[in-house]
């Protein structure tokens, strides 16, 4: 009888320990989120694309141009400028836009792509550099972190490589 009671207590202790181990992270998530927010931590620009520098509103859709993202010491990414087209549902079937990336009033690149009918379809298109500060991309997809054209939800994200001559 005593061994049976000890076995039941042991299994109850294991069950209680597992329940606590599973529930504590959910309980602490709010506190940890608050600590992280007050710590001033933020996601690196190479992941977010940087701060939005300018927006162009067209017929139902917006083009957002981010500031150039330059790699820090020991980072292996290339410098790039991120362009976001949103919402995808308002884009024309064929997009062909000349875009001013540096805010000087002159177009720096021409972005061309066909909006795929399916959200799961791979994106491909061209980015044609109109000056020496940027690199052209032919049949761009998602080949690298700083050279890409991808659909993310209801947005199309294009990252254009920047040459050092464009650095201000």
- Residue 56 phi/psi, 5° resolution? -120, 120
SS3 content of the chain, % helix, strand, coil (to 5): 30, 35, 40
Q: Where are the domains of the chain?
A: 1-41, 45-166
Q: Would you state the pLDDT for residue 167?
A: 56
Compute the average pLDDT of residues 112-127.
88
Q: How confident is the model at residue 107 (pLDDT cuts 50, 70, 90)?
A: very high
- Indicate if the pLDDT at residue 141 is higher than 90: no
- DSSP letter, residue 146: T
**pTM to 2 decimal places:** 0.73
Compute the average pLDDT of residues 149-159.
90
Specify whether the CB–CB gap between 63 and 52 falls below 8 A: no
Specify whether the CB–CB gap between 98 and 130 falls below 8 A: yes
- Indicate if the pLDDT at residue 166 is higher than 70: no
Q: Would you state the pLDDT for residue 71?
A: 85
Q: How confident is the model at residue 17 (pLDDT cuts 50, 70, 90)?
A: very high
Q: How confident is the model at residue 6 (pLDDT cuts 50, 70, 90)?
A: confident
Whole-number average pLDDT of the chain: 86
Q: How confident is the model at residue 160 (pLDDT cuts 50, 70, 90)?
A: very high
**Is residue 23 helix, strand or coil?**
helix
Specify whether the CB–CB gap between 123 and 141 falls below 8 A: yes
Specify whether the CB–CB gap between 95 and 119 falls below 8 A: no
Q: Would you state the pLDDT for residue 159?
A: 92
């Amino acid at each position: 009888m005593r061994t049976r009671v000890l076995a039941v207590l042991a299994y109850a202790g294991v069950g209680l320990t597992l329940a606590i181990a599973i529930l504590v992270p959910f309980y602490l998530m709010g506190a940890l989120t608050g600590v992280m927010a007050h710590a001033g931590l933020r996601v690196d620009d190479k992941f977010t694309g940087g701060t939005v520098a300018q927006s162009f509103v067209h017929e139902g859709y917006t083009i957002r141009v981010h500031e150039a993202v330059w790699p820090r010491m020991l980072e292996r990414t290339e410098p790039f400028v991120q362009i976001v087209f949103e919402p995808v549902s308002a884009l024309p079937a064929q997009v062909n836009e000349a875009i001013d990336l540096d805010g000087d009033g002159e177009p720096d690149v021409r972005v061309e792509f066909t909006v795929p009918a399916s959200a799961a379809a791979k994106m491909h298109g061209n980015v044609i550099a109109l000056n020496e500060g940027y690199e052209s991309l032919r049949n761009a997809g998602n080949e690298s972190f700083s050279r890409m054209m991808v659909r993310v939800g209801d947005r199309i994200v294009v990252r254009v490589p920047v040459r050092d001559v464009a650095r201000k």
